[in-house]
Every structure is written in structure tokens, then in C-alpha cells.
Structure 1
């Protein structure tokens, strides 16, 4: 029963990500139709690579270890659920401006509601937590070590690009 739950959870997370990509694509089309400008395209492929490898890595670790003896960690599962609520709150707060790409709509004020009222990039914090908690739920300890580090490396590129695109960084000339 526990291994069935494990696979159902994995499928749920994959479906959730696919639905989010559909939402992001719809938001991208709306923003571009309303004058939105995409910035920092060059690094986006690395998000796709890292996030695809994340799921492959979990599968590989679980396949090597097996699911016999798997016991759901209730604390990690509760933490996962809280993180998902925070993720949904971020998406809701940004509404049509939420995206997986950096797309700026000129002459539109930055969203300052929900978690964005308190920190600039709450979704990136949430993704970092997910990249730790999700593999731990599956007993994929190597994935839990590696992918938060990959996320931090991506954020070193992404956040400065996003800050510049949003006009929060002054450019020295």
C-alpha cells in the first residue's frame, strides 16, 4: 500500500507541474499579446534540464533502492503539503503575471500582495524547499543533496536577470 501511495504521489507531482506549465504558457501568451517582453531567454533551457533531471533522479534512486519497506514520513508529507499551499498562493498572488519565464509587461506595477508583500521571490524559496523535501519523501537522498544546489546555481543567474528586467536594479554606465 505504501509503495502505491508513493507512485500516486509521484504522478500527482508530475501532473501538477504539467498543469503549471499550461498555466504559464497561457499567461505568457496573454502577456505577450498585451506588450509583454521576454528577458533572459538564454538560461531558461537549464530550468527545463534541471527540473527534468530532478524527476529522473528520483525515479533512478527509487528503482535502485526499491520500494520494499517504504514508510511514509508524516512530518515530511505535512511539510510537502504546506509547501504546495504556499506554491499555489504564489501563483494566485501573481495571477496572469505568474510564469516560468521572465516576461515583463511595461507600465504595470509590481505585484505586492500575498507572499510577495514580504519577500521578492517567494516562489524560488518554495522551489528550493521542494527540491529538498520531495526527494526526501521518496528516500532519494542523493537527489535531495544535489538538486537544491543546482537550484541555487540557477538562482545566481535568474534572480539578477529578473531584478534587472523588473527595473529593481540600477545599471551602471
Structure 2
């Protein structure tokens, strides 16, 4: 039965492409309001990582059975992702954008964690390959993602600190 894996991969691909459109729109709106992008040099690396993750899954996972536990975990993470998007609204973007004078969001999942979206992405990058029975793939991309997130979180925290948003 190929269609469950194809449907799941199509869902994830459409979701990520939709998020890129939303992020681009939100970024443009924030920049028009006087925001500035910080540390853009790591962004191509992050895009390459996520694109490679999806392309590799299409190559290796299409047609494989979907393991229900990992699928359910992945879908639970999607619900949490929607919570992040709903909380940040127009401030959600895939880039590090600082809007001077804007307070740090401290509602929704941000009451619990400083970077909930990154925790969700960590889970997704591991859970989706596991849903297809590809544990080594999940480990490799989790390690690559950890490298990118070390750069990203450090840059984001420094940007927020310099904007005197974090205390």
C-alpha cells in the first residue's frame, strides 16, 4: 500500500511550502514596519537542511509502510506547530527578524519554552523518518539539525539580547 506514505510526504511538502510563503509574507510586512534581519548567513544552510530532509524522504520513504506510533507523534507535533503559528501570528517567520520596540511573545507555548518551534522541529526531523522505518536517516538529520540549531539559537538569543528584549 503506497498511498499512505505518499499522502504523508505530500502533506509535509505542502506544509513546508505553505510555511515558506507565509514566512516570506510575514518577513516583508515586518521589514516594512522597520524590522531588521539578523544573522542571515546561516539561513541558506537551514533551507538546504530542510530541503534535503524532504527530498531524501521522497527518495527513501515513498511506498514504505507508515508506523502508526511515530505517525501519531508526528501529527501531535503538527498540532503544536499550529499553536506556535497562532501565537506568533504575523511575527512568525523562518528568518531571525527583530522588530524594535516589540515585546517578546510570552503567551501560548512561549510561556513554557523560549524556543518551542525548534523543539517541535527537533521532534519532526526524528519522528517522520521513524514513521517510515528509517532510524539511521532520522539520526543523521537530527545531528545535522542540531548543528544548524546551535548556530541559529545562539544568533537569535544574541539578537534578542541586543534589542534588550530578553532579560
Please state which band the TM-score falls in when normalised by the shorter chain. over 0.9
Do residues 100 (structure 1) and 94 (structure 2) align? yes
1:76: how far off? 1.2
Instruction: Give unpaired runs (5+ residues) of structure 2.
Output: none
1:169: how far off? 9.1
TM-score (norm 1): 0.89
In 2, the alpha carbon distance for the partners of 1:48 and 1:13 equals 15
Bigger CA radius of gyration: 1
1:168: how far off? 6.7
Question: Could you report, residue by residue, the CA deviation over 1:15-58 in whole angstroms, capped at 9, with x for unpaired residues?
Answer: 00011111101100110000010000110000111011101222
Would you say the 8 A contact 1:102–1:162 is kept in 2? Answer: yes
State how 1:1-173 maps to structure 2 within 5 Å: 2-62=1-61, 67=63, 70-167=64-161
RMSD: 1.6
How many residues are treated as equivalent by the alignment?
164
Moved segments of 4+, more than 2 Å: 59-63, 139-142
Question: Could you report, residue by residue, the CA deviation over 1:69-125 in whole angstroms, capped at 9, with x for unpaired residues?
Answer: x43322111111110000111111111111100000000100001100111000001
In 1, the alpha carbon distance for the partners of 2:163 and 2:123 equals 26
1:138: how far off? 1.8
1:135: how far off? 0.9
Would you say the 8 A contact 1:163–1:169 is kept in 2? Answer: no
Instruction: Give unpaired runs (5+ residues) of structure 1.
Output: none
